Amino acid sequence: MTQNEAKIFLSAQRGKTELSWFRSFHSFNFGNFQDPNKEHIGKLRVFNDSTLAAGCGMKMQVEKPTEVLILPLVGGIEFKNSAGYHDFLEAGKVQVFSADAGMEYEVLNPYENELINYLEIWIEKENSVRPSTISVDIDIEKRNELLPIFSSVHNDAFGYFGKYNGREEGVFQVKNTGNCLYVFVIEGAFEVDNKLMEARDGLAIWNADEIEFEALSNDAMLLIFEIPA
């Protein structure tokens, strides 16, 4: 098997922004966290794992045209954006916000006493986009296959979610030659492209036609993104 060019982003080595009511781990450089070894991967600019305290909200603004994905992991979230969209999301839903440069959005915790945890993913676009927001449903109980959760406006970036039983295997085939991949383990452990990955680890892969993976624990969950390099 050909060895693909790859780089692992360990959970324990992520950057962190922490306030009394908000904490966010950054797989890539973000805000005040800047590390030459944590540059973004292709057009995948932001991959944040954030926790928000009860009754609090966090506003964000994109500087460039961007596809913003919000994935609730624990609890439900309220989502608002500057285009006037407002929705409530729980685990099993993905919010995809196509934002033009300068647009804002806000994630709010609607609970009185509970923390919420969500992933925040930004994929940069080459050109201006028409603002739009859609909610994608995921069957989080479906097992041992990759489910599509995202396809960019011009079909040059894709995202998939999978939940696997222990020792189940899978193969992902790259759609567009020259694209790179980013694999993120939400829960459990996997072997991906012959590399061990545990919860909240990420793996960037270049120059691959396909990758193989195997779940090493039950109820193991991962995301795979294919993005322009």
Residue 1: per-residue pLDDT: 43
CATH of the domain at 219: 2.60.120.10
Residue 153: per-residue pLDDT: 64
Mean pLDDT within 107-111: 98
What is the tens place of the pLDDT at every residue in 142-187?
A: 999 999 999 986 668 999 999 999 999 999 999 998 999 999 999 9
- Among 78, 72, 122, 63, which residue's Cα sits nearest to residue 97? 122
b vs e for 69-97, b when ≥16 Cβ sit within 10 Å of the residue's Cβ?
bbbbbebbbebbbbeebeeebeeebbbbb
Is residue 29 within 8 A of residue 40, CB to CB? The reply is yes
**Range of 117's domain?**
5-227
Tally of domains within the chain: 1
What is the tens place of the pLDDT at every residue in 116-146?
A: 999 999 999 988 888 999 999 999 999 999 9
Q: Name the residue with tokens 């899978």.
A: 170
Residue 227: per-residue pLDDT: 96
